[in-house]
A = this chain, B = another copy of it.
Amino acid sequence: MNSAPTIRTAEILCVGTELLMGQVINSNANFLASELVSLGISSYRQIVIGDNLQRLREQIVTSASRADLVVLTGGLGPTSDDITMEAAAEAAGKKLELHNESYDNIKHYYQRICRNMPQSNKKQAMLPSDATALINKNGTAPGAMFLCNAPNLDDPEHMAYLILLPGPPSEMRPMFMDQVRPFLEKHNSARFRTEFIRLYGIGESAAEERVKDLIDSQTNPTIAPYASEGECLFRITQRIESEDEEDRIRPLVEIFKDRFGDYIYEVGQRSLKEVVFDLLFEKGMTLSFAESCTAGMASSEFVDVPGSSKVLMGSIVAYDNRIKEQLLGVTKEVLVDMGSVSRECAEQMAVGCRDLLKTDMAVSITGIAGPTAYGTNKPVGLVYLALADKDGTDVSEINLSGNRMRVRRVSVLHAFNMIRKRLQ
């Protein structure tokens, strides 16, 4: 398969009733999609389809006519409803034959796990005659690669590669990385250079308006905005022919910095909490949280960063006012006159937490996560945060929309962002 056409486009075809029934999440499509992107292969479609021979064969023909490559996962098992190899062979007009080497591998696999090979497994060694067999080091089902005539309106000579991989990620991923990826690197030219610009504190649409002119005018590099809960992210992608091509991403990053200033918390891969951890760790500072409405979520999130024990000493979850008073030293006056969701309460919580846990910095969060505002006249989504360190205390008020979970999640992000702004 070396006199091979260049591979520019692909479709990912995942076979399995368990996917259609929603019993398992489709992590294979996600893995393959990001691999193809990194290879500079554009995939226009991912399709999940069940174990139905006719539907599957028709889908393979359709996908092959649209793309240079169709990557299939699943349906290579020994049971009667595993029909992907058969459907792909039919779609390519090929016959299945026993592939002796693969058959030996399956027999050895069963010897290795000290079991007898069920006869049904022999079926897994049936491959199209001219297929390249892909060895499965982690299971019984071999994969296969072969060319398929797939004429379309633009090109009656069009051919597509069919690559069949097993469904279990533990078998599919190593097979792809060891045997398929090197093949694909040989058979496509394009490469991509990407950079991520991560912002906090500005909404997706407001952010996009600030750089709309760039997004509209740019073709290479391209600029794509993505919004995730409470955060905003731009991906800049430059298509290159060779590694030594000039870097057109840097200059764009500089323009973004001018336009967004300190909304930008990271140019690169780090999440907000990783940026915050690195800042505190570099400065050798210790941290604690005093959490009311978030009830431990800020601490728990922060601890996702390995090594966080060097920075986070501990936290007080002061959900009930009695705890705010007795442990954090929030005064009765504040609780009675201002209420527990107030600027003053947040400030006393942070200061009290820093004193109690003896950390360089303490951050407090108190707000109304909803669904109701329990007796107060304050709106759901109102949250006060305070940051206390040796230089004093900052307080911040935010008004969040959304359900209980979102209010708490975004409050945590906001707490992390306060730390970043203080230290960056």
Contact = CB atoms under 8 A, between A and B. Distances in A.
Contacts of A46: 19-20, 26, 47-48
Contacts of A294: 300
Given A33-B19, A205-B78, A317 B295 contact: no
B50 A44 contact: yes
A301 to B, nearest CB: 8
A120 to B, nearest CB: 5
A81 B46 CA distance: 19
Contacts of A225: 79
A309 interface: yes
Nearest to A38: B22
B22 A115 contact: no
A20 to B, nearest CB: 6
A213 B29 CA distance: 34
A30 B25 CA distance: 6
Main secondary structure of the interface of A (DSSP, over half): mixed
Nearest to A215: B80
A306 B138 contact: no
B306 A295 contact: no
A308 to B, nearest CB: 8
Contacts of A203: 115, 118
A226 interface: yes
B55 A49 contact: no
B43 A20 contact: yes
A215 B206 CA distance: 54
A62 B170 CA distance: 34
A41 to B, nearest CB: 11
A264 interface: no
Given A44-B20, A44-B55, A46-B19, A299 B309 contact: no
A37 B22 contact: yes
Contacts of A304: 404-405
A306 to B, nearest CB: 6
Contacts of A309: 319-320, 374
B77 A139 contact: no
A401 B109 contact: yes
Interface in A113-128: 113-115, 118, 120-121
A190 interface: no
A303 interface: yes
B23 A34 contact: yes
Contacts of A50: 44
Given A139-B401, A296-B296, A312-B317, 9 more contacts: A20-B33, A22-B30, A45-B47, A291-B296, A295-B303, A296-B300, A314-B317, A316-B316, A323-B357
**A-B residue pairs, 9 tightest by C-beta:** A296-B296, A22-B34, A22-B33, A296-B299, A314-B323, A46-B48, A315-B317, A295-B303, A296-B300
21 contacts: A20-B46, A22-B32, A24-B30, A25-B26, A29-B48, A79-B204, A79-B208, A80-B212, A115-B203, A168-B229, A296-B297, A299-B317, A300-B300, A303-B319, A303-B408, A304-B405, A312-B319, A314-B320, A315-B319, A317-B317, A327-B357
